[in-house]
Amino acid sequence: MTDRHDLSNLPSYRQPRRSVFSARKIALMASVVAGLGAAVYGYGTSTSPADLFSSPAHAQVNNEVRKVERPVGFADIVERVKPSVISVKVNIKEKVASNDDGDDSSSPFQPGSPMERFFRRFGGPDGFPGLKGGRGRVVQGQGSGFFISADGFAVTNNHVVDGADKVEVTTDDGKTYTAKVIGTDQRTDLALIKVEGGSNFPFAKLADAKPRIGDWVLAVGNPFGLGGTVTAGIVSASGRDIGNGPYDDFIQIDAPVNKGNSGGPAFDTNGEVMGVNTAIYSPSGGSVGIAFSIPASTVKSVVAQLKDKGSVSRGWIGVQIQPVTSDIADSLGMKKAEGALVAEPQASGPAAKAGIESGDVITAVNGESVKDARELARTIGGMAPGATVKLNVLHKGQDKVVNLTLGQLPNTVEAKADTDKDSGKGASRGTDVPKLGMTVAPANSVAGAGKEGVVVTEVDPKSAAADRGFKEGDVILEVGGKSVSTAGEVRDAINTARTDNKNSVLMRVKSGGQSRFVAVPIAKG
């Protein structure tokens, strides 16, 4: 039998502690578990260990999220404005010309080749250009537009419906209607159409306020024929000139706009049309984030005239104008390069009758300053023919006020002066103007150059004259505000400008029947 050793008598012995799960601790743990159970009961019925500890934390996070405002979207705006946008489909019949012997003259193959003979004999498939008998094809095009009134008037681009034999529109609910063209304006690329077959169309309102750079914009349209597409972006710039014409004043937006969006609206966050999408900048043919819209203010004035009489009448003062550059401003003694320089008034125009001359600078219209030549064109073009306007003009260094009555801008381009393009050919070498790098001769000594001024017979390609665009055959009419007829008078005018400490001398030049002013830098000494 083995002895049991009593360790309690040893000096180092201590009485063992009671179990860690003492009655007191058990009671404490029980109370904690009960509390957790009560918390879990308040948020769910799951009793897994994970739920016991994670559910209260999730509830706290969810409560915090509810306090944060959700990102603002465009769904409410789109739902309200999208029904006013339409898809525009046009059919244009293209006739095929035939030559005198009845053969088709529009074969895509080289004349005389086997394929050309085959094409001429058998023609192409139905609707293919080049069918014999003068038959043509029907070309289809698609664009966008939007209703501006409940009775079916809608706006689109001129280039969408130009030359169309048939116009159809499809509304947002998928219904198709026939439309007729009420009027078009090529200069602003706007058109007004009327949809037949309804009197309660949803329509959009043209905005009164001018958009600010950075404002949100929504483009709605028919890109690539898909219909009903919405894209968003911001206003990138305003007052853009893209070389479309003298009335360019486009809003630049970065909302993706593609082929087929033409004529569609650009909405602001109030659901109003800030502009009509009309052009894109695209090296590839697709959107690169640069699109241009016609401002609502322009649309209002043009559409009102199209609805009233089917065409647009614009005010006209009858002058050729050009921008005032810093060089031109310096040569005229102006402190700022602003206003519109009159290159040449038309003989029978309102400006000429009111005493405005070449070299005058129009600085204000009815007391409103004119920033540049484009702004003058837009301002005058926005006025009605027959209106009386007050022009502030800088004439030979002196300010004066001219009152005149606007004429109506002709629909056709004014005929250019009959000037021989080869006027410099066969001329004598002329006299050098060494400070400018060109040679001139009296215009009356050169066939076809006219009787006034001196004609440029030679230009040094590395000279100041070449840098300013002078070329052989140009006729210099004035230098420094004085008429010239000999090379000596040109040199004298340049010396006078140099004596007056001018950095450049202003010349009035006639080229191809058009007059313009050119500021040419002059060397000192």
Per the annotation, the verdict on 5 as an active-site residue is: no
189 in catalytic set:
yes
Residue 413's contacts (CB-CB under 8 Å, 6 or more residues apart) are none
Active-site pick, 262, 287, 331, 423: 262
**Cα–Cα distance for residue pair 505/497, rounded to 1 Å:** 6
The beta strand positions in 35-165, using DSSP E, are 85-94, 137-147, 153-156
Q: Which of 55, 107, 185, 189 is catalytic?
A: 189
The whole-angstrom separation of Cα 163 and Cα 182 is 13
Taking a C-beta distance cutoff of 8 angstroms, is the pair 485, 442 a contact? yes
Token pair 């009858």 in the structure block, residue: 318
Catalytic choice (159, 236, 330, 511)? 159
Alpha-carbon span 24 to 220, nearest angstrom: 74
Task: List the beta bridge partners of residue 365.
Answer: 368, 391
Contact 206, 300 (CB under 8 A): yes
Tell which residue, 127, 148, 154, has the closest CA to residue 138: 127
CA-CA distance, 288 to 281, in Å (whole number)? 7
**Exposure string over 76-92, b if 16+ CB within 10 A, otherwise e:** ebbeebbbbbbbbbbeb
CA angle 320, 239, 507 (to 5 degrees): 30
d(CA 301, CA 250): 15
DSSP string, 294-324: EEHHHHHHHHHHHHHHSS---EE--EEEEE-
HSE-CB for 183 with a 13 A CA cutoff: 16
Rounded distance, CA 282 to CA 470, Å? Answer: 33
Give the count of beta carbons closer than 10 Å to the beta carbon of residue 427.
24
Check if 369 is active-site.
no
Burial category of 50 from C-beta neighbours within 10 Å (exposed 0-12, middle 13-18, buried 19 and up) = exposed
Q: Which residues have a catalytic role annotated?
A: 159, 189, 262
